[in-house]
Amino acid sequence: MISHHQLQRFANMQAFLCTFLLIFAVTANLACSRQAKKTDTNVDGDDSGSKLPRAPTVTACGLCGNPISVTLKLNNQFKTPYFEYEVKVNNHPQRELIYMMQQAADKNPAFKFSADYFASLGFSISTINGLSASVDDKTYWALLDHPSGAAKKLGVSSYIPLNNEVIMFNFTTWATHT
């Protein structure tokens, strides 16, 4: 059972992360505008005297790192039909796990997931390969470190995997007696 205290801690963590991301985003944005200005100057240099209206500069800014590889293990030993397999995400810019899951789903027709969006908390995985978390059954898709089995403290919208990390989604229950 998720206690009020745990929820509060999660909220605090999110607030901290948001502040950090905001600062990062502002800094990245400034860097992008500087880059855009530099490009404009170059274009002016090449096209001096041209009176043609210039297309607006569009710059895609993302909070991404270097390309990394991550393995996702999908494990259900809780409810028949049991299944366990893994999908690998290669060469994806390092960023929040949810984006890596999207790439995994794009590249592997056998991997499907759906998620619910909760304002500010981000996405929560509701279904993987047709197996859905259910409040009635007290089941959920736990996000675990592999092989330690330790629960990740952040959700899929906040957690940023490391290169070559193995992440497990384990279908399980929050009920104390199963």
In the complex, the residues that contact ligand NAG under the rule CB under 6 A are: 77-78, 144, 149, 170, 172-173
CB nearer to ligand NAG: give 99 or 141. Answer: 141
* Residue 72: partners with Cβ closer than 8 Å, 6 or more residues away: 86, 87, 88, 89, 100, 101, 104, 111, 167, 168, 169
CB nearer to ligand NAG: give 48 or 178. Answer: 178
The helix (H) or strand (E) run that includes residue 126 is: strand 122-128
Q: How far is the CB of 73 from ligand NAG (least distance, A)?
A: 9
CA–CA separation, 106 and 72 (whole Å): 14
Q: How far is the CB of 34 from ligand NAG (least distance, A)?
A: 47
Q: How far is the CB of 112 from ligand NAG (least distance, A)?
A: 20
Q: How far is the CB of 151 from ligand NAG (least distance, A)?
A: 8
Q: SS3 sequence, 47-116?
A: CCCCCCCCCCCCCCCCCCCCEEEEEEEEEECCCCCCEEEEEEEEEEECCCHHHHHHHHHHHCCCCCEEEE
CA 45 to chain centre: 41
CB nearer to ligand NAG: give 14 or 71. Answer: 71
Q: How far is the CB of 172 from ligand NAG (least distance, A)?
A: 3
CA 167 to chain centre: 12
